[in-house]
Amino acid sequence: MLDFEAALAQAEAETGLIPKAAAGPIAACCRADFLDLAALAESAVKAGNLAIPMVKQLTALVAKGDADAARFVHWGATSQDAIDTGMVLQLRAFLHALDTDLGALCAALAALVEAHRHTPMVGRTWLQQALPITFGLKAAGWLDAVERNRERLRAARPRLLTLQFGGAAGTLAALGDGGMAVSLALAARLDLALPAIPWHGHRDRIAEAGAALGLLIGTLGKIASDVALCMQTEVGELMEPAGEGRGGSSTMPHKRNPVASAAVLAAAARAPGLVATLLSAMPQQHERGLGNWHAEWIALPELCRLAGGAVHWTVDTVKGLEVHGDRMARNLEATGGLILAEAVQMALAGKLGRLAAHDLVEAACRRATAENRHLRDVLREAAEVTAVLTAAEIDCLLDPRGYLGLTQDFIDRVLRTP
């Protein structure tokens, strides 16, 4: 907000709205360490927002050195101009830092994808074993989603990073004929876009920022969920990075808990309610809203904090992730070949028809389960199967590495995405 006040004074002096001699003393006092923050917080409760007592303190500070300059503090602006533009300036700094962290995450994920593009593992649907995939394919899905979120935030920046300057009711009437010139100069000084019209009562920009952050946090929550599920003792395919004091238990010495995943999932659980608050705040009353605007002040910063923390934890996890390919291989064998029943069915379908092949393989699966036998052995005993498939062909069909479809093509497409 102080950056806004300094730039406003300089823009108004530049355009002749206030004396040129006033801009320097005002800008020189626009430093947060000059303010009494405790008094500011106390006064804001009664004032209804933080800008009103801030402007009073700033005016008093300027007056100590230059009483004439103090007359022109906050000239023609309104509290919401300072608050909204201050928030936009903070949002810009945050989005820049977030984009840097997302770049690091994308790089770490790309390395993970490449390293494990051929590492076979179980693909799961409805939490049950489905078909073979590779861990590289799973990680490529993570990377593709993170890249979409990064691009979504980048695409929104021109709309989000927009000056708010309309005066009391969005007309800048207090500045007379100089309002547009000041607006142009102010936007240039702050390096913000100048909107077609002040947006005090139209909060889609803020809602868009919150929604984009909510989508990012949800995406990171999906990654955290995958990692945590793969860390379960009975699965044992992945492990978060180890470290002194990390993931332990106060009572069970053997525990290694997915603490990073827990932090990200906690953020993902909180984000939807905060996004909903921003969406609920959009129908504001007339030219400047009452109450719903105020609700944004907690929701958007909290979403930023959650997003920043979730990205941090995800980068940490991906960079140090332990991948247990041997356990992935063992889990592929856990069903005794049933995970590749579809591969056998499709091979038989070309000779017997899809429905007949389905019924035949389904019966073989039921028998293998009932008798606790490997599907390979049951198929080799089925005359209808051996009539069209050799033992070597059955073995080949039950090799997880032979039923990965377009896995490598999909991975290549993700890795080629800029």
Catalytic residue ranges:
249, 288
* Rounded Cα–Cα distance for residues 380 and 393 (Å): 11
* Rounded Cα–Cα distance for residues 404 and 401 (Å): 6
Question: Distances from the Cα of 376 to the Cαs of 98, 187, 188, 322, 355, in angstroms?
Answer: 51, 72, 72, 32, 21
DSSP summary character for residue 193: B
* Rounded Cα–Cα distance for residues 9 and 6 (Å): 5
* Rounded Cα–Cα distance for residues 371 and 378 (Å): 10
> How big is the chain by its Cα radius of gyration, in Å?
30
Beta strand residue intervals within 20-165, DSSP E: 120-125, 128-134
User: Are 164 and 81 a contacting pair, CB within 8 Å?
Assistant: yes
* Rounded Cα–Cα distance for residues 272 and 218 (Å): 9
Closest Cα to residue 261, out of 240, 242, 243?
Answer: 240
* Rounded Cα–Cα distance for residues 59 and 9 (Å): 12
The β-bridge relationship of strands 238-239 and 128-134 is unpaired
Tokens 């990654």 belong to which residue? 223
Beta-carbon count within 10 A of 255 CB: 11
Tokens 């005993």 belong to which residue? 381
Token code pair at residue 353: 């028809």
DSSP summary character for residue 241: P
Closest Cα to residue 62, out of 18, 30, 19?
Answer: 30
* Rounded Cα–Cα distance for residues 357 and 240 (Å): 42
Beta-carbon count within 10 A of 359 CB: 13
User: Are 238 and 231 a contacting pair, CB within 8 Å?
Assistant: yes
User: Are 198 and 84 a contacting pair, CB within 8 Å?
Assistant: no
